[in-house]
């Protein structure tokens, strides 16, 4: 299953509801929602009130990425306000295994994320317990960064591990996606691609159509 996952971090918040509706009309199924606390990462984004408000108007799959310290404190709150999936950072959890259990017990999909400097080996023992691994291909906390080439090998390593262990685990990438890197990450083994500024251009319709077209071109090459 391949999905383009637009990140609302790059949206025009004055037109957020309108832009989410455009994404739905253009066939997008997943919405990536970055929550940043100003502690785990330097930036602060938005939290539960925003998610709760857009949940009322949207049937999209809410892919919530918690870039926060000790995310286990907030799992239930984010589920209650509308998350369909919660991804936590391995580096942010005091007890990663317990946090993953909490997300599973809350009834939503489970994701674990690693920063560019974190080796795959740090989470390889957890693969059978998660639905998705998010590989950050830029430093978390800021939009518009350039893709870090060294992350390609990590995507490939993850895909090999998942294949070797015959697991049903998605690989998501987030950061620096453009026409060129879309091909790089998909061919390396990712199947969920987060895109911010690549999609949210002055003309959102053309932005999302272009990104979907490029994704489909690469998928056809892979198949």
Ordered domains of the chain (ranges, CATH): 3-222 (3.20.20.70)
Whose CA is closest to 155, among 129, 179, 128, 183?
183
Residues that constitute the known binding site for substrate: 7, 65, 141-144, 174-176, 196-197
- Which residues are tagged catalytic? 34, 174
pTM of the model: 0.95
Rounded Cα distance, 216 and 135, in Å: 21
**3-class DSSP assignment, residue 7:** strand
Residues that constitute the known binding site for a divalent metal cation: 32, 34, 65, 174
CB atoms within 10 A of CB 117: 11
Can you give the pLDDT of all 223 residues of the chain as single tens digits?
A: 999 999 999 999 999 999 999 999 999 999 999 999 888 888 888 889 999 999 999 999 999 999 999 999 999 999 999 999 999 999 999 999 999 999 999 999 999 999 999 999 999 999 999 999 999 999 887 667 799 999 999 999 999 999 999 999 999 999 999 999 999 999 999 999 999 999 998 899 999 999 999 999 999 999 8
How far, CA to CA in Å, does 111 sit from each of 15, 64, 101, 121, 129?
29, 9, 11, 16, 9
């Amino acid at each position: 299953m391949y999905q383009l996952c637009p990140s609302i971090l790059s949206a025009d918040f004055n037109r957020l509801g309108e832009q989410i509706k455009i994404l739905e009309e253009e066939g997008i199924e997943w919405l990536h929602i970055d929550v940043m606390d100003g502690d785990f990462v330097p930036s602060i984004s938005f939290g539960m009130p925003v998610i709760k408000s857009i949940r009322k108007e949207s049937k999209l799959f809410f892919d919530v990425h918690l870039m926060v310290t000790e995310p286990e404190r907030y799992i239930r709150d984010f589920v209650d306000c509308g998350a369909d999936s919660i991804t936590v950072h391995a580096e942010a959890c005091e007890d990663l295994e317990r946090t993953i259990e909490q997300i599973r017990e809350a009834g939503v999909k489970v994701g674990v994320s690693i920063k560019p400097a974190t080796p795959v080996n740090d989470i390889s023992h957890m693969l059978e317990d998660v639905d998705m691994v998010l590989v950050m291909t830029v430093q978390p906390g800021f939009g518009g960064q350039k893709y870090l080439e060294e992350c390609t090998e990590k995507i490939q390593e993850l895909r090999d591990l998942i294949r070797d262990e015959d697991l049903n685990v998605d690989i998501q990438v987030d950061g620096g996606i453009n026409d060129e890197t879309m091909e790089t990450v998909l061919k390396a083994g990712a199947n969920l691609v987060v895109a911010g500024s690549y999609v949210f251009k002055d003309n959102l319709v053309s932005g999302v159509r272009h990104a979907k077209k490029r994704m489909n071109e690469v998928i056809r090459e892979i198949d």
